[in-house]
Structure 1
Amino acid sequence: MTAPTQTEIELQAAAFRRLQKHLMEDRTDVQNIDMMNLTGFCRNCLSRWYQEAAAERGIEIGKMEARELFYGMSMDDWKANYQTDANDAQKDAFKTSFAQNVKE
């Protein structure tokens, strides 16, 4: 596989920023647990991937710092403003989805 061109990198970055805006501004009603259960990833996964990409480049970013960079606010603020309590069915589905999709 050939390395992406600068234009491809810029387009990929723009698409990521649009996804981030969509999740953080346009669809704050969509809960992380529902995203994880349906797609196998959520906002927290995206922030973890950001953290992992930084680590590959020798940049150390902590878990909460990566989340704050992605969310544009602290997790406490996000939870207070947008997160709802998960029901038992969501929690059960999450256990399966997390096990299938998150490699620790």
Structure 2
Amino acid sequence: MPMVKNLENVHQELMDIARESARLSYTKYTSDDVEKLQNRLRGIDSQYNEGAFGDMSSTSDCGRYEEEGQAQVSNELEKVHKTLHVMLSRIDN
């Protein structure tokens, strides 16, 4: 599915965080390692919460529910959050 440009950038950042978390999961990582990824994810969360993932009030297509790719990026965001949560839960304290 095609995405609008701002979502494409968010998607790429999410995929980069997902790759980094997968790479880390095969090493002896620390909570600091996961926290760095979570901080990057917070930036994306802020954009999402501020509505930067799409202009729902656009009049170019009155029937449009969401920007193209918005649901996909939202699902990816949730998956990365869950992955990082699991990684944190596996750290020996």
TM-score by length of 1: 0.41
Query: As a proportion of its length, which structure holds more helix?
Result: 1
